[in-house]
Amino acid sequence: MDFDDQLRRYFGTDDLATIAPSTLETGLDRIRVDLGMEKDRARRFALWSLLYMFGASPDLDVAFDNEDDRNAARDFMDMMAKAQESD
């Protein structure tokens, strides 16, 4: 999954600065629906990660049945926190 492609798919643009609040909420809702329907583990992780970056991800125990996936998500969260610290 390409990040810019996902932004265009869910928000109609790849420019975050141009996303209106109503468009943001609609796009996040669409991602949540797709996350709930997605069976492929890698795609589920990518959708969850996108939601996480927008501060809208579900809890790990809700999003992932597999402990390995929950651990990968925790690693992703740690990586994102470290990246924000270095800014």
Could you state, in order of their start, the residue ranges of all structural domains in the chain? 3-85
Q: What is the pLDDT of residues 8-55, one digit of tens each?
A: 999 999 999 999 999 999 999 999 999 999 999 999 999 999 999 999
pTM comes to 0.91
pLDDT at 73 over 90: yes
Question: Which residue spans within 2-72 are E strands per DSSP?
Answer: none
What is the Cα gyration radius of the chain? 13
pLDDT at 87 over 90: no
The pLDDT of residue 77: 97
Confidence of residue 56 (pLDDT cuts 50, 70, 90): very high
Q: Specify the DSSP element, H or E, that contains 30.
A: helix 21-37
CA nearest neighbour of 56 among 81, 75, 37, 30: 30
